[in-house]
Amino acid sequence: GAGVSQTPSNKVTEKGKYVELRCDPISGHTALYWYRQSLGQGPEFLIYFQGTGAADDSGLPNDRFFAVRPEGSVSTLKIQRTERGDSAVYLCASSLLSSTDTQYFGPGTRLTVL
């Protein structure tokens, strides 16, 4: 079956602009995660959804970052007033039922803030 998909694959924006990154999890997966991977680093946890609700948003770096999952499937990561330091690959992952299940990652969205 189809894996996790993320759009766009690449996003270039200017400092101060607003961006939205989309994640389509594997069909039927109830848990969804966002991670951020900076160059030369491992992914860093941002937020975890169980269904429609954010069960843990402790990794969001500041209030410019927000994520939603209104129908318990597709999720959108929103970044306001982008800064050059936000440049990274944003990875989405999903798992079947609970957070103990294997996390399957998408290919990521490469965000560049000029």
Binding site for other proteins (CB under 8 A): 4, 31, 33, 35, 40-45, 48, 56, 59, 91, 93, 95, 98-100, 102-108
As measured in angstroms, the least distance from the Cβ of 53 to other proteins is 14
CA distance 69 to 112: 24
| Nearest distance, CB of residue 39 and other proteins, angstroms | 11
Separation of alpha carbons 81 and 62, rounded Å: 11
State in angstroms the smallest separation of the CB of 91 from other proteins.
Answer: 6
Closest CA to 15 of 64, 76, 58: 64
Distances (CA, A) of 70 to 73, 82, 85, 98: 8, 23, 28, 18
Instruction: Give the β-pairing of 5-7 and 53-56.
Output: unpaired
Q: Least distance to other proteins from the beta carbon of 13, Å?
A: 20
Between 59 and 68, name the residue whose CB sits nearer to other proteins. 59
